[in-house]
Chains A and B, each alone.
Chain A
Amino acid sequence: MQEHPTTSWQAMQEGSVFYRRQQLYTLNGKLPDFDHYLVAGCRSGGPIALTRDRTKLVSLDSRLPRSTKTQIQIYSPAGDGLLLFTWDLGNIIRFGWTSDERLIILDDEGIYRVYDLQGDYQQFSLGNEAGETGIIDARIYGEGFVALTGTFALLEVKGWEGARPLTLASMGIQEPPTAWSVIPPDVNVSRHVEVLVSVDTTILSVDNLEVIDQRISRGPFTHASPSPNGKSLALLTATGLLWVVSTDFQRSMAEFDTTTESQEAVKQVEWCGNDAIVVTWNSLALLVGPFGDTLRFHYQGTPVAVTEPDGARIMARDACDLVQKVPSATLSVFRPGSTSPSAILYDAWENFAHRSPKADESIRSIRPELAAAVDECIEAAGQEWEPHWQRRLLNAAKYGRGFLDMYNATDFLNMGRALKVLNAIRHHEIAIPMTHSQYMHGSPAQLTARLTCRNLHLLALRISSYLSLKPDAVLKHWASAKIAKSRPSATGSGKDVELSGDDEVCKLIVAKFKELGGYDVSYADIAKRAWEVGRPGLATKLLDHEPRASDQVPLLLTMNEDKLALLKAVDSGDTDMVYHVLLHLHKRLPLGSFFRLIEDGGAQLSLASKLLQVYAREQNKDMLRDFYYSDDRRVESAVLCLEEASRMNDQAAKIASVKAAQKFLSEDKDRAFEAKMMDESARLHAFQQQLEKEMNEKITFFGQSVNGTIKTCLLNGLLKKADKIKSDFKVPDKRFWYLKLHAYVSMKDFEGLEGFAKSKRSPIGYEPFVRYLLEKGHPKEASSFVERCDASKRVDLYVECGDWRLAGQECKTRGDKAKLEELKRKSPNTIISRELEQISLR
């Protein structure tokens, strides 16, 4: 018979609230005494990391590693060593865990490393400035950390990808704070990180914009710890008073004098869920409830408390415990004397199991609340640690379900599945003591990732398939690990062994993926791994299996497979990727071979070539010029010259550019016409320069088109010059006449226009004269040209000029009676119609 769940319960507040202390693992002294160590525990049932506290003297004990080097030890909650490694950088300032179970270690020079549980790490730096001033402290949370520099500036780093540190608002303090803590952005109202710093008697709230003095006089504080939901803050004053306050300092929640428990200095102030606080001393952990009630837990040696969102894990030399408030569902079922429906349901099931008729009676009594009771039993099952009680509670739920007509069994099934997984990972060999709510808070994928990090691939794979997750992530990790392990031995007999080894490993991996249906596995990542461990052959082979061209590119670049990388980038259609490769190659290769690479690619690489031109046109004209030159692209070279010419202000330079363009074009025999045009253009420019000189620079000609030049000449009365341009540039008569017409009208020189019109027979006829004058608002002058137009159009043109009388007369002279009638009908007013009447009568 298993112990009843209530045996681990302890009452608080006169029996209204229960807390339970559940022993997860017995450790039996597998761990050293934490008193000599700095300890950081990972949330959600993660491991703990230890390093010796250098400020404390240690007896030279034979059991301890006799090394003066700094070592980091990582233990699972069951006390098994997971990893041991040596730290070879500066003094460790702080270490802590990310939300995905990686260890962050920060040293006093601002260098930090992110370790996974295999001991592989990535190294980043907080920058030169931080390195010079030094780092004196830091606070690490799941998605980033805040470091305190020697000059008391706060640097925030978001994420673990080596993001640039962001300087928070300056606090203007002169000495290090007595205590400080960070409220992570995901639980803060502003969604930005907030730092609470205890300075003198008060507390400063700092974010990236401002520093707010909270004006508190109870300090200084020695401990400051925000609750997991970021709403409350636990503070410990120098006099040993524990004070709980909301993080906006508007509401004081509880006060408790710790000196009543122990006179020693407090080691830790940590939260247990969001409503109680664990205070630790040597061999004692004290749980302080919301109303100052306490529960005492004794341990061998110094305990270490790790805050969990729904409780606290307390580890000591002898045991690893979970302390939490008894969840409401469990309380409702098991509380002595409980008469809640779920308790009655559980009771009914027990009676049923004992074949007692009372079962039916009980069920009847809770009929209306049965569905809720079933749900509560399922929930309570999730909160139990022992499979025995989980099974019983689920059985009770199943029994109750039988009495319901409609019941959605999804919750029941999900809970069964979740518990099966949880029980598997809570086993002491795996030792991930997650609670159900922690499991629900994260995702199953996160869990399998944690397992693969411990090299527990088989379990991860089984869990994946049990929960119908995609096995890809697990497989990928497995393959990487496989490659790292199957390093070809140095004793192999030369090349052949290695080659067959490559083939074998590649085949093995591909076969495994096919078998297990890993569709989305990125071979590129695995290939990268192979490259990193020095197996380029294997890397190439694996890369061939990568379906996404864009993923192959970065590795190909590092492998110096330039052409292949460029081809794959072009194939991916992602222009940014192509730029990435181009810029990379441009930096690395000599210009000549860079160009050759692109030119030799022909049509396949035309996109790369085009993009290079787009880039160079904006950023690097010289390179573009070289590129065109090396490829004998005369037309493009010429266009480039023209483009430059259009941007130049200096006349001489402009002409030179145009001439250069002309030269390029003349070298291409298919471009004779264009060359000729450029020649004309240069001539025009020269002519314009001369004109300007003759005009003493008073009139601007330079840069105008042929038409423009002619017009400017006409407007300034330089008729001779206009004629010269006409003959020099073979301007057709028609166009010349239009230009003159426009010029005269715009000068309102109607006499000149008349003279010009009479100078010879117009090649464009006279209708354009009428039309243009009308358009410019000179109907009177327009009408004088109508008589020179085609006879058939005259009537309408007169009408358009508003000269109805002449229109009427025109009709009359041509004897067009019908038209005249039409005019009469259309006439705008009586005067005109009368006039028309007279004409028709005449």
Chain B
Amino acid sequence: MSDPLASDAPSTLDVSILKDIAVKSLVDSLNSVNGAKTLVLDNSLSGPLGLITEVSLLKHHGVDKMFWLESGPLTASTTNVVYLCRPQIKYMKIIASHIKRHAQDKQKHVYHLILVPRESTLAKQILEEEGVLGDITISSYNLQFIPLAEDVISLENEKAFKELWVDGDETVIYESSQALLTMQKLFGRFPRIVGKGDYAGRLSHLLEQSRSTDDPAADTLVSAAGRIDCLIVLDRKVDMITPLLTQLTYEGLIDELVGIKNSHVDLPKSLVTPAAPSSSPQTSTGPSAATPPAHALREEAKKKYLLSAASDPLFSELRDLNFSSVGKKLSSVAHRLDEDYKARNKAKTVAQLRDFVGKLSGLQTEHQALRLHTGLSEMLVRLTRTAQFNKSLEIQQNLLATYDVPGQITAIEELIAQGADKQLVIRLLCLACLTGGGIKPKVLESIKREILQAYGYDLLSLLLSLESAPLSILHAAVSGTTGPQKYPYPTVQKSLRLLIDDDPDALEEIENDISFVYSGYAPISIRLVQCIAQKGGVLSNPAMDKDKSTSNAPQKSTLGKVQAHPIVGWKGFEDVIASIPGCTVDANLAGATAAGIPSLSLSAQSREHASTTVVFFLGGCTYTEIAALRWVGRQNIGRNFLIATTGIISGGGLVDSIAGGERDVAKPLVI
């Protein structure tokens, strides 16, 4: 993982500019209100905002006090009250109730509403119905992509999946298209859009439309800087299997077992705060400090920690490792650190000593990081040792191999009887349904009955949501053409080589395929990306036998890396792609004249300049998929991946959001 190849990767697009833009426009929005103001913040925004700004910045721009936007009275000491929220109906109602109450109490305030990401007719309508529209000045704060890492940007919309596939609310698609258009303005046009899935088609249609109405003159301005060679859009429906599985990379497992929210994880305080009195620079005061005093109480012994490669170099080495190799990595780091500390003994002269002292603070930081990650992994190890966890892994692996499906369903029933977590049960059930092409009606009914009895009858609406179109990831096996289109798992599994029989011991030594992230299963979504951007990798492991993979890409002998081939759409995989439900997108936007040529010119030019391929996950992606995609990016030279997503998801979070509840941040630490 820590191979030197990763470090020499050519510079990618600088996504930090997105953060700068976000901060700037936030400051502008705040400054448009003169004087001291009380900021009332929508809870769901505090996380994303915590990633781009700090409380001190807000204070600096006149924010006097901050409150959550929630029902109940609001006591504001300043004349100006600024609401910052998403245009949701419930929030509008709360705001209206605040204003009405203030009017009753004869309190004079000036109200400003800043809607994220844009003004909304609906919000205005609600305010009008409540009779307060005239009392409030509405503006917007266009918060779009937020960089989570140097190669990951996210809209941080947790509910995207549910809104799209349960409610049918396509707002996310429109917002994504707007955010992608901003990207185009910053980094140049996407010359080509390749994608899969109905909503991906919709998004690509919107992007094409806005292009056709764009002025052609702007083209000439950006084409020189056009370093993006393709936009790959995958909607989540194309690969529902992957998020249902338990993620097995370090970061993925933390998300599964502890829960990561907006890159922050709640950890026991003892783990986060350094043992030594030296203050650790990594502890983020972002969202946790944003909590107003009234709510600070529930944070007993937990503390938020920002998981970011920028502030924690050790984490960047660990995050994408399969959990089985994390221990080894940690111990090697520990050894190195020990050596470094021992350098102290070697220091004889004053100069050497000074040199050592200079390095000391760096060592201490590293030491603290090591302590934290060791503690965290111990926590994870404890959680992964439970019988239920292992049983569920076993069921997952068997289902993926379509081995003894009835037996697995019985095992799921067993889990229900044992009182396992309902998310887990539902994830496994949906997985069984997707891989097996449905479950026998009788069996399905009895298992649904078990679920309803064990977890409550109100789960019926969740089950109905899972069953009904367009989601339909839980359905009975039906013969004939009626009913929802089945997911052709067996075909996909074979043609995309999803399962690799790896010797688990060898896995630690050589990562020769993306399947390392799920210990033997290659995520479909990333295989699809490979179908476009690394065709050789789908057919065989590039690291093992290169001969096959170099059919259309010349070999760079010394490094064992191959030159990335130009984007030619789905070529070579049309059949299997067509078998997956949802429309297939391949739009060439480079203009008619350049249609044939770019493949040639691009490959010639890309030898010197690496091009960037943007992969957009509509409906969210998992940390594991990010890890896998990073791995793909390391195999080629001349192509970097920029991962864009509507949000980071996990199977548990998905099930929760479909059930209608908010994703619980402080998930119980048991599975």
Closest to A127 in B: B134
Partner of B125, one of A583, A704, A771, A775: A583
How many angstroms between the C-alpha atoms of A140 and B88 in the bound complex?
A: 38
With A192-B34, A573-B173 as given contacts, are A642 and B418 in contact (CB-CB < 8 Å)? no
How many angstroms between the C-alpha atoms of A164 and B209 in the bound complex?
A: 35
Q: Are A573 and B206 in contact (CB under 8 A)?
A: yes
Binds A, one of B39-47, B212-220, B526-534, B560-568: B212-220
A610 CB–B CB distance under 8 Å: yes
Q: Mark A633-646, 1 if CB is under 8 A from B, else 0.
A: 00100010011011
Closest to B216 in A: A519
Partner of A738, one of B206, B418, B464: B418
A681 CB–B CB distance under 8 Å: yes
Q: Are A614 and B167 in contact (CB under 8 A)?
A: yes
| Chain B positions within 8 Å of A575 at CB level | 169-171, 174
How many angstroms between the C-alpha atoms of A680 and B387 in the bound complex?
A: 32
Instruction: Kindly provide the distance from the CB of A679 to the nearest chain B CB, expressed in whole angstroms.
Output: 10
With A614-B169, A705-B457 as given contacts, are A768 and B122 in contact (CB-CB < 8 Å)? no
Residues B414-430 near A (CB distance < 8 A): 414, 416-419
Instruction: Kindly provide the distance from the CB of A299 to the nearest chain B CB, expressed in whole angstroms.
Output: 43
Closest to B164 in A: A610
A576 CB–B CB distance under 8 Å: yes
B445 CB–A CB distance under 8 Å: yes
Q: Are B137 and A164 in contact (CB under 8 A)?
A: yes
| Chain A positions within 8 Å of B343 at CB level | none
How many angstroms between the C-alpha atoms of A512 and B650 in the bound complex?
A: 56
Q: Mark A703-727, 1 if CB is under 8 A from B, else 0.
A: 0111110000000000000000000
B491 CB–A CB distance under 8 Å: no
A406 CB–B CB distance under 8 Å: no
A207 CB–B CB distance under 8 Å: yes
How many angstroms between the C-alpha atoms of A73 and B122 in the bound complex?
A: 44
A729 CB–B CB distance under 8 Å: yes
How many angstroms between the C-alpha atoms of A192 and B206 in the bound complex?
A: 39
| Chain B positions within 8 Å of A192 at CB level | 34
Partner of B174, one of A573, A681, A768: A573
| Chain A positions within 8 Å of B134 at CB level | 164
Q: Mark B70-109, 1 if CB is under 8 A from A, else 0.
A: 0000000001000000001110000000000000000000
How many angstroms between the C-alpha atoms of A619 and B96 in the bound complex?
A: 14
Instruction: Kindly provide the distance from the CB of B235 to the nearest chain A CB, expressed in whole angstroms.
Output: 14
Partner of A680, one of B121, B174, B457: B457
Task: Choose among A519, A573, A643 the residue with the greatest number of B CB atoms under 10 Å from its CB.
Answer: A573
Q: Mark A547-559, 1 if CB is under 8 A from B, else 0.
A: 1110000000000
Q: Are B215 and A520 in contact (CB under 8 A)?
A: yes
Task: Choose among B110, B134, B215, B457 the residue with the greatest number of A CB atoms under 10 Å from its CB.
Answer: B457
B454 CB–A CB distance under 8 Å: yes
A684 CB–B CB distance under 8 Å: yes
Q: Are B217 and A470 in contact (CB under 8 A)?
A: yes
Residues B370-424 near A (CB distance < 8 A): 386-387, 414, 416-419
Q: Are B212 and A579 in contact (CB under 8 A)?
A: no
Q: Are B448 and A707 in contact (CB under 8 A)?
A: no
Q: Are A707 and B454 in contact (CB under 8 A)?
A: yes
Instruction: Kindly provide the distance from the CB of A210 to the nearest chain B CB, expressed in whole angstroms.
Output: 8
With A579-B121, A639-B461 as given contacts, are A610 and B215 in contact (CB-CB < 8 Å)? no
How many angstroms between the C-alpha atoms of A610 and B469 in the bound complex?
A: 12
How many angstroms between the C-alpha atoms of A618 and B445 in the bound complex?
A: 32
| Chain A positions within 8 Å of B454 at CB level | 705-707, 735
| Chain B positions within 8 Å of A576 at CB level | 118-122, 171, 174
Instruction: Kindly provide the distance from the CB of B510 to the nearest chain A CB, expressed in whole angstroms.
Output: 31
Closest to B35 in A: A209
Q: Are A470 and B215 in contact (CB under 8 A)?
A: yes
| Chain A positions within 8 Å of B31 at CB level | 191
Closest to A163 in B: B137
Q: Are A643 and B461 in contact (CB under 8 A)?
A: yes
Q: Mark A457-479, 1 if CB is under 8 A from B, else 0.
A: 00000000000001000000000
Partner of B457, one of A607, A678, A775: A678
| Chain A positions within 8 Å of B177 at CB level | 573
Closest to A584 in B: B121
Instruction: Kindly provide the distance from the CB of B88 to the nearest chain A CB, expressed in whole angstroms.
Output: 8
Instruction: Kindly provide the distance from the CB of B139 to the nearest chain A CB, expressed in whole angstroms.
Output: 11
Residues A727-752 near B (CB distance < 8 A): 729, 731-732, 734-735, 738-739, 742
With A575-B169, A607-B170, A611-B169 as given contacts, are A583 and B121 in contact (CB-CB < 8 Å)? yes
How many angstroms between the C-alpha atoms of A45 and B169 in the bound complex?
A: 52
Q: Are A642 and B213 in contact (CB under 8 A)?
A: no
Instruction: Kindly provide the distance from the CB of B441 to the nearest chain A CB, expressed in whole angstroms.
Output: 9
Q: Are B121 and A547 in contact (CB under 8 A)?
A: no
Partner of A705, one of B120, B213, B453: B453
A335 CB–B CB distance under 8 Å: no
Residues B452-469 near A (CB distance < 8 A): 452-458, 460-461, 464, 468
Q: Are B417 and A732 in contact (CB under 8 A)?
A: yes
How many angstroms between the C-alpha atoms of A615 and B110 in the bound complex?
A: 28
Q: Are B169 and A519 in contact (CB under 8 A)?
A: no
| Chain A positions within 8 Å of B205 at CB level | 573
Q: Are A610 and B173 in contact (CB under 8 A)?
A: no
How many angstroms between the C-alpha atoms of A645 and B458 in the bound complex?
A: 9
A208 CB–B CB distance under 8 Å: yes
| Chain B positions within 8 Å of A677 at CB level | 448-449, 452, 457, 460
A190 CB–B CB distance under 8 Å: yes
Instruction: Kindly provide the distance from the CB of B137 to the nearest chain A CB, expressed in whole angstroms.
Output: 7
Q: Are A735 and B121 in contact (CB under 8 A)?
A: no
Instruction: Kindly provide the distance from the CB of A776 to the nearest chain B CB, expressed in whole angstroms.
Output: 12
A121 CB–B CB distance under 8 Å: no
| Chain B positions within 8 Å of A609 at CB level | 168
B662 CB–A CB distance under 8 Å: no
A673 CB–B CB distance under 8 Å: yes
Closest to B468 in A: A635
| Chain A positions within 8 Å of B448 at CB level | 673, 677
| Chain B positions within 8 Å of A643 at CB level | 461
A764 CB–B CB distance under 8 Å: yes
Q: Are B417 and A208 in contact (CB under 8 A)?
A: no
A328 CB–B CB distance under 8 Å: no
With A208-B34, A573-B205, A583-B122 as given contacts, are A674 and B170 in contact (CB-CB < 8 Å)? no
Instruction: Kindly provide the distance from the CB of A270 to the nearest chain B CB, expressed in whole angstroms.
Output: 29
Instruction: Kindly provide the distance from the CB of A48 to the nearest chain B CB, expressed in whole angstroms.
Output: 34
A778 CB–B CB distance under 8 Å: no
Partner of A646, one of B121, B167, B450, B458: B458
Closest to A643 in B: B461
Q: Are A607 and B414 in contact (CB under 8 A)?
A: no
How many angstroms between the C-alpha atoms of A520 and B213 in the bound complex?
A: 7
Closest to B135 in A: A164
Closest to A611 in B: B169
How many angstroms between the C-alpha atoms of A768 and B417 in the bound complex?
A: 11
Instruction: Kindly provide the distance from the CB of B564 to the nearest chain A CB, expressed in whole angstroms.
Output: 32
Q: Are B35 and A639 in contact (CB under 8 A)?
A: no
Q: Are A734 and B417 in contact (CB under 8 A)?
A: yes
Q: Are B34 and A642 in contact (CB under 8 A)?
A: no
Closest to A707 in B: B454
| Chain B positions within 8 Å of A520 at CB level | 213, 215
B202 CB–A CB distance under 8 Å: yes
Residues A656-672 near B (CB distance < 8 A): 658
With A642-B461, A681-B457 as given contacts, are A619 and B89 in contact (CB-CB < 8 Å)? yes
How many angstroms between the C-alpha atoms of A548 and B445 in the bound complex?
A: 49
Instruction: Kindly provide the distance from the CB of A536 to the nearest chain B CB, expressed in whole angstroms.
Output: 25
Instruction: Kindly provide the distance from the CB of A622 to the nearest chain B CB, expressed in whole angstroms.
Output: 14
> Could you list some 7 contacts between A and B, CB below 8 A?
A583-B125, A618-B89, A635-B464, A680-B452, A707-B419, A707-B454, A734-B414
Give 4 new A-B contacts, CB below 8 A, not counting A190-B34, A735-B417. A573-B205, A606-B168, A673-B445, A681-B460
Interface residues of B (CB under 8 A from A): 31, 34-35, 79, 88-90, 110, 118-122, 125-126, 129, 134, 137, 167-171, 173-174, 177, 202, 205-206, 209, 212-213, 215-217, 386-387, 414, 416-419, 445, 448-450, 452-458, 460-461, 464, 468
Which 5 pairs between the two chains have the least Cβ-Cβ distance? A610-B168, A681-B457, A705-B456, A706-B453, A618-B89
